[in-house]
Amino acid sequence: MKCLTIRQPWATLIALGEKQFETRSWQTAYRGELAIHAGMGIDTTACRQEPFKSALARHGFTVDNLPRGAIIATSRLAGCYEVTQAAADEGWPGGNELVFGDYAPGRYAWKLEDMTALARPIPAKGRLSFWEYPVLEGEQ
């Protein structure tokens, strides 16, 4: 299965459905299943600021109990959209989504759908870009 490593708290926000777009500096033509891997890195400052803190707290998470170094969810990468100045001027995306990503013009917003958080995170070493993990039966 294709995986994408994401720093915390963003990985958990995606797994919880609080964040539906992952923003990147590069576009992708890939569409399909995508596992979300929580990297070892954590932005402790973001975790303690709003709206990150309250979004995590709604689900029982704090900076101290975020999973790291593990696959935490599966999803479907449904689209990749270039962020334009016109979209930014119109306030896209709205709400917390805007704060949870980097929507500077020229970046790309990857639409994630069909999110399923794993009951038990799967320990794995992350990598840059997409990487493959051999999903074993029963792990999901």
Q: What CATH number does residue 80 fall under?
A: 2.30.130.30
Distance CA 53, CA 41 (A): 17
Write down the pLDDT at residue 95.
86
Tell me the residue range of the domain where 73 lies.
Answer: 2-118
Q: Read off the amino acid at residue 44.
A: T
Check pLDDT > 60 for residue 140.
Answer: no
At 135, is the pLDDT very low, low, confident or very high (cuts 50, 70, 90)? low
pLDDT in tens, 94-129: 889 999 999 999 999 999 999 999 999 999 999 998
Check pLDDT > 90 for residue 137.
Answer: no
- Between strands 70-82 and 21-24, the pairing is unpaired
Residue 53 resides in a domain:
yes
Residue 75 resides in a domain:
yes
Check pLDDT > 60 for residue 136.
Answer: no
Residue 16 resides in a domain:
yes
Spell out the residues 6+ positions from residue 119 whose beta carbon is closer than 8 angstroms to its own.
none
What percentage of the chain exceeds 90 in pLDDT?
86
pLDDT in tens, 51-63: 999 999 999 999 9
User: What's the predicted TM-score (pTM) here?
Assistant: 0.91
